[in-house]
Structure 1
Amino acid sequence: MYDWKSELDALVAETMAFTRSLKVEIEPPRPQPKEVAERVEYSEPGYGVSERDQIRKRVESFKAHQERFMREREEYADSLLRRIRPITKS
């Protein structure tokens, strides 16, 4: 009968012996700089600007951001449909 446990033990022992024979220095990975697509500047609460004005500005910024996403999605869908229409008409 095939004795797979003894072969596995032999393989593990051989692998462990091989790894002990290696002398490798491992350098810690360098952190990769993250690219910033857009920088959004938020103003810190100041004495001259009311909280209501700050909230209004943030809401306007959020709405503009959402509208841009909607436009991009619609443009992508239109371009996809333009590419698919000639294929489906055949």
Structure 2
Amino acid sequence: MKWIAERDALIAQTMAFVQSVTGKKDDLHPPEIPTATVAASVQIAPVNTIIGTEPLKAAPPQPLPLPSPRVASHDVRTEIQARIANFRKHQERFEREREEYCAATLTKLRAAIREPSSRPPADK
């Protein structure tokens, strides 16, 4: 059960860290552990007392950079149309190659069926 004690100590330490960073107390606290089950005592202290510094303050939000100026809509439209035309050409080429392959395969198959010498002998 040592891992349970270590887990609970880690949760308590994490909660102390969160409280020291945010500066507010949460309602969530780990369950109390009887001292008889804890093998080693763990000292929990806020992070700023361990390091000896003040908690970090959040920097003010920086404005987001403006997006780059958009290309004229005509240029975008032309680019999209060019890409679609290129895609269609590729698809037509693939279709043509499939048809040619299918025709060549069927031609070889029909030639093999017509020639009895190329067939393996049938087992009786």
TM-score bracket for the superposition, by shorter chain length: 0.3 to 0.5
- Higher helix residue share: 1
What is the TM-score with the length of structure 1 in the denominator?
A: 0.44
Rg larger in structure? 2
